[in-house]
Amino acid sequence: MMLNSFLFPGLQTISDSGDLIPLTKGFRPLGMITVLTRDHYVMERKVLSRGDGVGVRAAKAQAEFESRFTEPVALVDLSNRGKQSMLANVWTWDRHAIGELTGNPSLRVLPEPLARRPIEAGARVVRALSGFDGEIWHNHFCVASRWWPEPPTEMEWDIFQRGAQSRYWPTEPNGTPILYALPEVEEASWISDRVWVAPTWGERLRSITPAQLIVGAAILCAAPLAYNASKIVQLNAQISGLEQEAAERTEAAQPWLQNRRRALAQLNQISQMSALGAPEALVYALMDMEAALVSANANAAAVNYDAPTLEVRLEGRSEDDLNVVALVQALEASTNWSEVRFDSGSRSIIGTVTTDETEGEAQP
What is residue 247's predicted lDDT score, i.e. its pLDDT?
83
Answer yes or no: is pLDDT of 195 > 60.
Answer: no
Answer yes or no: is pLDDT of 135 > 60.
Answer: yes
Q: Tell me the percentage of the chain whose pLDDT exceeds 70.
A: 80
Answer yes or no: is pLDDT of 212 > 70.
Answer: no
Q: Which sign does the torsion angle of CA 92, 94, 99, 105 carry?
A: positive
Answer yes or no: is pLDDT of 362 > 50.
Answer: no
More confident site: 262 or 167: 167
Give tens-digit pLDDT for 153-189.
999 999 999 999 988 899 999 989 999 999 999 998 8
More confident site: 321 or 32: 32
Beta strands in the chain (DSSP E): 10-14, 20-22, 32-36, 41-48, 72-78, 86-94, 109-111, 122-127, 132-138, 141-148, 185-186, 299-306, 309-315, 337-343, 348-353
Phi, psi of 214 (to 5 degrees): -65, -45
Between CA 38 and CA 141 the distance in angstroms is 19
pTM over 0.75: no
Answer yes or no: is pLDDT of 360 > 50.
Answer: no
What mean pLDDT do residues 292-309 have? 78
Give me the chain's average pLDDT, please: 80
Contacts of 141 (CB under 8 A, 6+ apart): 79, 80, 87, 118
Answer yes or no: is pLDDT of 348 > 50.
Answer: yes
